[in-house]
Amino acid sequence: MHVPDGFLDAPTSLATGLIAAAGIAVALRGTRRELDDRTAPMAGLVATFVFAAQMINFPVGAGTSGHLMGGALAAVLVGPWSAVLCLSVVLLVQGLMMADGGITALGTNITLMGLVTVAVGWTTFVLMRRVLAARPTAVPIAAAVGAFLSVPAAALVFTLLFSVGGQAPVDLSRVVVAMLGWHTLIGLGEAAVTGLVVASVIATRPDLVYGARPLLAVPTLEIRTPAPDPETTR
């Protein structure tokens, strides 16, 4: 989904740059509420994992591929505002160092993969968490549904941007059908990876999953009395 330079014209790229900057500014404030001494290292870890996972393109159908975007995954693991910053750091390093995604397209890429996937992924996750049983085991399923929807949503927003500022005269109806079709398939991969990773963290350290926190039972002190007669407990 990394948009190269040249696909969108300068005004559209400038507009998405402003949207991205505003999103990051709000996220810088929101992140303070999400992270503390225990979870700040987790956010750094999630950013590096998303970077690594984005290197793994998996084949989708004939001749094309997709990779994890990670917006929904990061939002569930460390919170939506921290997730926006995770993806922004990843996209910045990719654009500046790896030439993956254009420089004038950096705002577009942060908007699509940093803002749209996080917003759609997190909103869907919260709704699903409410619908499903309020147990930590529901968290990976809700995360997978959010991840699945986040990918075609980003594809749809790209097509919208292209309809405004696309730099080539092409049939937009063909673009929207192809973008949604392929990215629905890629969304299945996004859902699988997201569900698997969230399930693994839930299984080992559920307290480190931001999206699971409302569901974790508050540990209550329990008074255990010694069994009066060992014979009866055997």
Partner 1 sequence: MTRRRFFAAAVLLTLLVAGVASYYASSHPDGLLYVAGQTGFEDAAEDSATADSPLAGYQTRGVGSERLSGALAGVAGVALVGLIGGGLFWMLRRRDERPDTSGSGD
Within positions 194 to 233, which residues make up the interface with partner 1, using CB under 8 A?
A: 204-205, 208
Minimum distance, C-beta of residue 126 to partner 1, in the bound complex (Å):
21
Restricted to residues 54-73, the positions that interact with partner 1 (CB under 8 A) are 55-60, 63-67
Task: Select 49 or 148, whichever has its Cβ closest to partner 1.
Answer: 49
CA distance 47 to 192: 19
Phi, psi of 30 (to 5 degrees): -65, -35
Restricted to residues 159-178, the positions that interact with partner 1 (CB under 8 A) are 162, 166-168, 170-171, 174-175, 178
CA distance 212 to 215: 5
1 forms part of the interface with partner 1 (CB under 8 A): yes
Minimum distance, C-beta of residue 103 to partner 1, in the bound complex (Å):
5
Which residue in this structure is represented by tokens 């995604």? 101
DSSP for 40-92, please give it: HHHHHHHHHHHHHHTT--EEETTTEEE----HHHHHHHH-HHHHHHHHHHHHH
Stretch that binds partner 1, among 47-55, 121-129, 140-148, 219-227 (CB under 8 A): 47-55
37 forms part of the interface with partner 1 (CB under 8 A): yes
41 forms part of the interface with partner 1 (CB under 8 A): yes
The answer for 211, left when phi > 0, alpha when psi is -120 to 50, beta otherwise, is alpha
17 forms part of the interface with partner 1 (CB under 8 A): no
Task: Select 181 or 214, whichever has its Cβ closest to partner 1.
Answer: 181
131 forms part of the interface with partner 1 (CB under 8 A): no
Minimum distance, C-beta of residue 230 to partner 1, in the bound complex (Å):
33
Task: Select 67 or 128, whichever has its Cβ closest to partner 1.
Answer: 67
38 forms part of the interface with partner 1 (CB under 8 A): yes
Residue 42, both tokens: 């987790």
Q: How far is CA 153 from the centre of its chain?
A: 12
Residue 179, both tokens: 């973008």
126 forms part of the interface with partner 1 (CB under 8 A): no
Whole-angstrom CA distances from 43 to 39, 40, 74, 224 are: 6, 5, 8, 38
Size of the site for partner 1 (CB under 8 A): 73
Q: Which of 20, 35, 119, 143 binds partner 1 (CB under 8 A)?
A: 35
Burial 40-62 (b: 16+ CB within 10 A, else e): eebbeebbebbbebbeeeeebee
Stretch that binds partner 1, among 11-19, 25-33, 123-131, 216-224 (CB under 8 A): 25-33
